Structure 1
Amino acid sequence: MAVYRFRISFEDYDDVIREIDIKSNQTFKDLHYAIHKSIGYDPEKSSSFYVSNDHWIKNEEIAYLPNERKISRGVSLMENAKLSSHIDDPHQKFYYIYNFDKPFDFHVELIKILENNPTQTYPLVFKAVGEAPKILSNIIGSPDEITGDEDPDFLEDETILIADEDELEALNSDTEEGEDEEEESDEFSDEFSDNENFDQDDYDRE
């Protein structure tokens, strides 16, 4: 039985690489789980492999946890699809999308075909280079998880500006002038209000 060695790399983080050996009769679900065991992501997310050409153009889809639309369309399922049934080229490529809600895109390429080693348990990680990028939901807690008296880190750089004495004096002067204007306005309003209460008969007698 043949063993496939796949090189898996992030499309946007090409310095992060995994090489995984897996038996030809194992499924795409086995490869899916092996990838996420090697990079530390949760495998229980809707994801898909796409049979691709040398330019990473997506063709047939092989899905894990597909939505209803894909199911009704008859999409192939990872748990039922053996790797050997989709290998037509010694350098076969698959475009792989993990977690359609917050997707990461990968390039998966067959780089070597080996003999099965009966003493090995497959799949296995042959090579690991670089650390996978963190997923936001894994590194930022919810507001309920933020405890303690300290401010969150993003407040540490906050700058507080303190006015000097001249600026404070100018501010106080502006405030006093504003108060004087309000008092004059109130006196004028009272006087005008008194005039509004004049007796119409007195006016006629004049």
Structure 2
Amino acid sequence: MIFKFLILSDEADNFKREIKIDADATFLDFYHVILNCTGFSNKEMASFFLCDNKWCKLQEITLVEMDTYSDEDSYIMEKCILSDYLEDEKQKLMYVFDYLTERALYIELSEIIPGKNLDKAICSLSVGEAPKQLLNIEEIKTDGVLLDTGESFYGDENFDIDELDREGFEGLDDISVDTGESDIF
């Protein structure tokens, strides 16, 4: 069985890729095809997310094993077979390629072709340029507005320690900082 995926971007209007891949391939195989057809580097972290019909993330499939101390199962691309997670046409996925800003490509399983197999995945349609994989700090937007790069990333010089809320800081009353006062609060 062959899966045909349509891949779009909300950043690059003219970007479109169509990938055909065997249903028995892994998410890692799918990841490599996406890298090849977008020009993205394999040096960055990436994840697939299975999504509902409204693009809400349901389950993450990561590039590498994440050391989690929870009871949640960890799903990695190398061990996850596409057909074990995808079974319906129009099923949606996200491919997060920039963890800092959670930028992603939007993927839809557009067609399931039964009775055929592919030895190697192919990009059967390539239109437009992929979005940049990584943005410079000047290009990162918050709520549609460019960040003010003149402001300190961690705060500004007008910081007033008296504005801190005491909740969660119990036991720190006796610690002094170089403010000329005997304690923080």
TM-score, normalization by structure 1: 0.58
Kindly provide the amino acid, as one letter, of the partner of residue 74 in structure 1.
D
Aligned equivalent of 2:17: 18
Aligned equivalent of 1:108: 107
> Runs of 5+ in structure 1 lacking a partner?
139-206
Which among 118, 121, 124 is matched to residue 123 of structure 1? 121
Question: SS where residue 108 of structure 2 aligns?
Answer: strand
Query: Does residue 56 of structure 2 align to residue 57 of structure 1?
Result: yes
Deviations 1:7-39 (A, max 9, x none): 111132232011000000001111111011001
More deviation in 85-94 or 19-28? 85-94
Aligned equivalent of 1:30: 29
1:52 and 1:58 in contact (8 A); partners too? yes
Q: 2: CA distance between counterparts of 1:108 and 1:40?
A: 17
- TM superposition shift of 1:64: 0.6
* Greater than 6 Å deviation, 4+ residue runs: none
Q: Once superposed, what is the RMSD of the aligned Cα atoms?
A: 2.5
Question: SS where residue 68 of structure 1 aligns?
Answer: coil
- TM superposition shift of 1:115: 4.5
Pairs aligned (count): 136
**Which structure: larger Rg?**
1
- TM superposition shift of 1:44: 3.3
2:98 and 2:133 in contact (8 A); partners too? no
1:46 and 1:66 in contact (8 A); partners too? no
What percent of counterpart residues are identical? 27
Q: 1: CA distance between counterparts of 2:59 and 2:50?
A: 5
1:46 and 1:100 in contact (8 A); partners too? yes
Deviations 1:79-120 (A, max 9, x none): 0000001113221111220131464311110011124656x5
Q: Could you say which structure has the higher helix fraction?
A: 1
Question: SS where residue 21 of structure 1 aligns?
Answer: strand
Question: SS where residue 29 of structure 2 aligns?
Answer: helix
Q: 2: CA distance between counterparts of 1:97 and 1:24?
A: 21
